Structure 1
Amino acid sequence: MEAGWIVFAAFLWEFHCAMCRDVTLPPGPLYRVAGFPLSLPCTVSGYEGSRTQDFEWFFYREDAGAKQIGVVSTRDREFPYAPFQARVQSGEVRVERDSGDKARLVIQRLRPDDQGRYECYTPSTDMRYQGNYSASVDVKVIPDTLLITHTRVLTGQPVPEGAGLQLTCATSVMTVQHTHVSLTFGVRSGTGYGFPGHNLHEVMSIDRELCVVPGRGNSYQQRYTDGEIGLEKRSGEGGRDMYVLKMSALEPGDSGSYFCEAAQWILDPSYQWERIAQRTMELGNLSVQPLAGTLAVVVEPAGEVSLQPGSPLSLACQVTGAGWWNRSALLVQWMRRGPAGGVEVEVARMDPDGVVSWGDDASKGGGGSMEKEAEGRFTLRRFSVHPLDAGTYRCAVSVYAGRPTPGASSPATITQRSEGVLVSLRTKEHSVSATIKMPHQVIPKRGSTVTLLCNVSVVTMGPNQVEVRWLQKKVESDGKGDTPPVESKGSLLATLTYDGMAHIYNNGSDLSIDRISASVYRLRVFSAHEDDQGHYLCQAEVWAQDPHGRWYNTGAQAVSSTVHVYLYARVVDLLLIPLVIGVSCALFIGVFIIATVTCCFMKRLARQRSRIKK
């Protein structure tokens, strides 16, 4: 029974204490630095009355014993004692509310004589006076020993996009307390390069735990991942810590006013890190000039180049304003558009690693070279130009600013194209015509050989050869029966090149091609079947010889009209069906006659046997 009363009494005590007023401050002692702010949060709980509580702050100097000095109050403007009265009136010392029952004492700039014990008192609003109405904490004011220096000041002179930047700041702190130092490089950017504004961005930081943290803006996180920006901490002279910011490829958005900011941190008895000192060092203005305003791509010679077939061609691409050559990779492409317009094709390219590759087959087989003659100068040479080389040439340059070895999927910083230079050839006139026909009095039949002749007529000066191609367009039905048949796209059957080489393409048929006279070319289809039916045509191209004896395609060509090939049935095929029907009928009649005769004979024999028995 007695034990039960003890438990009940303990419960009542706990409940009673839970309803008591309680004032709390952070545990101390708290070390803060002279010249920097002090913020002491004070919280009251378990109170009665209004939710908005008043707070009064008192100060006890270490050298003044227990003498109480009023600092500031939330309800009495005349509360501050003389040592704090002017500072309270100026706002240097004040109370800031976080909520109705939580307020903090703020001293904007600590003085050495602010060291002592601070008490937070809450006037009672309770029906009964019970609980804790005040709390105190010791504050130690230590000297300001945080130093920060730099080794380079930015002058604001424009630097090209893609250039590198390295900034260095050094810090040191002398204190017996265990503190950590963090450092941040930042920039105040404006609306244009060279005009610093007030948009603050953190570039890179090393926090109090020595972790490197990239800034959130201006794609710093991605650039840090790509290795384009970094921050290192090194040991310097005299116990100083050196912090080095490296930016390998500056962008126009990096323009602005740069600074480095050092902060001193201490771990309070509450196990919360508090920043107790901070210093900022201005590093000057940086102006990054965009490549779009400096890059220039020019082709030499300009305008128009007129050549004879077989002459050499040399074009130079001059690139200026691309920044530091040893820091920016270039992709250089030569492009050509034909004299009649159309699609622009790549002739040749030089990759950032210096590897040359050719574009279309005509460029690859034409004979030539692409070289880097000097920094920013790239030449395209054709050893012997032909009509297919004519057209408008341009040089396209892609710059990877600040990246000497970009990845295969890395986007270029900028791509700029030169003006076009027209390359024309003073060629002789060439004309060609082609007609296709079948030999007279020849009816194509299934299983027989189908012969087609292509007559080519060429009008030109000088040596020439003809290249002939044979094509077939099959007739396909749409299966509905109420619409005319549709011609498919022509398929290449065979080619007889200008130098007499025959190329047969497998289409399931047995073919041959040859030249039977100076102007007549023949195609033969052996053992023709249904798939060989359709429209046939021939295509002729004229090749000429340049002064060096090399053959080239003049571009003159002609396409014949089409001839329709329909395969008729053979005579033996036509007689096969009547023959089968006749033989079948004869067999049927023969069997019928034999069966009838046999039946009659058997009946007669049976009658004779019956007479004999009688």
Structure 2
Amino acid sequence: MATGALLLACALLAGVAVAQRVVTVQSGPLIRTEGSHVTIWCNVTGYKEGVEQDFEWSMYLPSVPDREIRIVSTAQPNYAYAVYAQRVNSKEINVERLSGDSAVLHITKVQAKDQGLFECYTPNTDGRYLGSYSARTNLTVIADSLTVAAPAQTLSKVEGDTLQLTCEVSRTTLQHTHLSVGWYLRSPEDAAAPPQELVTLSRDFVLRSGGLYRQRMAAGDLRLDKTSATSYRLTIHKLQPVDQGLLYCQAAEWIQDPDGSWFAMTRKQSDKTQLRIQPTESKLRVQKTNQSLSYLEDSRVRINCSIASQTSQDSQHAVLWYVRRATGSEADELLLRIEKSGAFEYGAYADEERLRRRVQAERLSPRLYVLTLNRAENSDSGTYYCLVEEWLSDPDGAWYRLSRESSGFTQVLVRQPEVRLQVEELEANVTVEESSSIRLGCSIPSQSSRDSRFSVSWYVERSDDDDDEDDVDQLSDEERGRECVFSIGHDAVFGNGNCSPREEAGPNSRLQFERMTSDQYSLTIQGARPTDAGRYYCHVEEWLLNPRNAWYRLATNNSGFTIVNVLQQVSTLKSVVCSTDALFYFVFFYPFPIFGALLIALLFVRYKSRSNSKSQEGKNGAPLLWIKEPHLSYSPTCLDPPALSLHPGSVD
């Protein structure tokens, strides 16, 4: 029993220990120079999970250690006292939240009056108080005594000369601090570009160099020497054109905080030295012939870039190809760059205009470069030129650019084929009978390209009969009642032209389309109807394939009118009788049996009467007349009426 109670008590104590809130602040004292940017971090642990913590910063002056001066809070916007309110509102003092339980206090320009004890307080969010809710650190603000001095001057040197510059760096800080001193170069061509580090003596007394100058420092052409307690001398042997620009010295004063990290309390720069370097006289000359070239789409465009002379036989060249769009862009666009090593890279313009597959650069000889545009298109029109850079190697094997020069301008015009589409414009007047066929032709005697394809459509215009022909010509398409009769696209798909016909193509269609040759088309309307009368014409669209394998319409043209008149059939007795089978049989078939029966009956009666008279006539010696059976012939068609013929018999 006692053992169980002991275990329970230990568990409760362990739970209490785990649940205790702990606030941690950056260890002090923190020593900072006046005017520097001060940061103090603060973390909290042991709180109820899932609740974001707030942070309140206050400070206590050394002269009044018991009076709290509120500075800034993440929860209360008007938390600061009047002495800090203006600096908080201007964001000179602010709190940066790193996470739900971590924040950093920023004082962008610390002042001497900010020296004191800083407290980070986190309001309770657990419903009960257990653990610590605040932590403090001491901030000491000292005067900024760092000085960096170098004369502001302008120097002119010749390529290959030696340059020496001296920088004086000192400070009077009582605390133990370290200095770092370095020389930097800012390019005169791009003021917005970050400065390039030449050589730096770090706070750990280690020399380092950046970028292209590392190799020159290893070769002994770049040095940084501490000639006295405060003097630092930069030496550059064998000056190159790339060394031209603004040179200055920059120093930083470092102090080590109680947590072991180093902090740069202040950084300062010296005045700048304007360095101009006269390069070795360049003999680079690029041919500057201006010319204008005109091409048809899908042609191959070739532009030459010829180097007439160079400074040395060991010179190497980098060639950049530019284009100035015909529409007038703000800056010339880089197509591609050929490095002196032979490698090349495309410019952003080549990627945007999808030129990678069509543009080609060649080096035909050490002084002749060629740009080729395959399958040129209209958007390639513009002004092209090359920019040549001449590079030389110094005695240590480092390459530097000696000079650059551009070529003449080549005006390139890429045009679409000349429109030569013609459609036969002869007019015709055709009269056909109802139920016969209407044949409409469409002839294309001239086309713009041998690769052209055509979309052909037939239209009919219908107007009132009482309208004069001159008035019809003056009407618009809508007023004329233009209707699409048939259409076939350039892809040989029916109904895929520039209109949608009412009567769809199919096995039961009255329309019959035929393409006799590549420039001869015909449309036949079978079973002509009176409603088919009108003014017919064909509409031709000429299509070509552009270099991007997309079809585009080059031109359109219309043929002359074919005026079609349809004669209606007149109703006659013959047409009425032949119109239905029932009426035909009633007129030409059923009467014959009846007529035959009546005729037989009539002959039989007559035969009887003559038999009686024969006996009497025979007695008297009179001859008898015999009648054969009548021969009845008729036609099953409507062309001939039935015929009845009587043939005489023989006299016995």
TM-score by length of 1: 0.45
Between structure 1 and structure 2, the one with the greater Rg is 2
TM-score by length of 2: 0.43
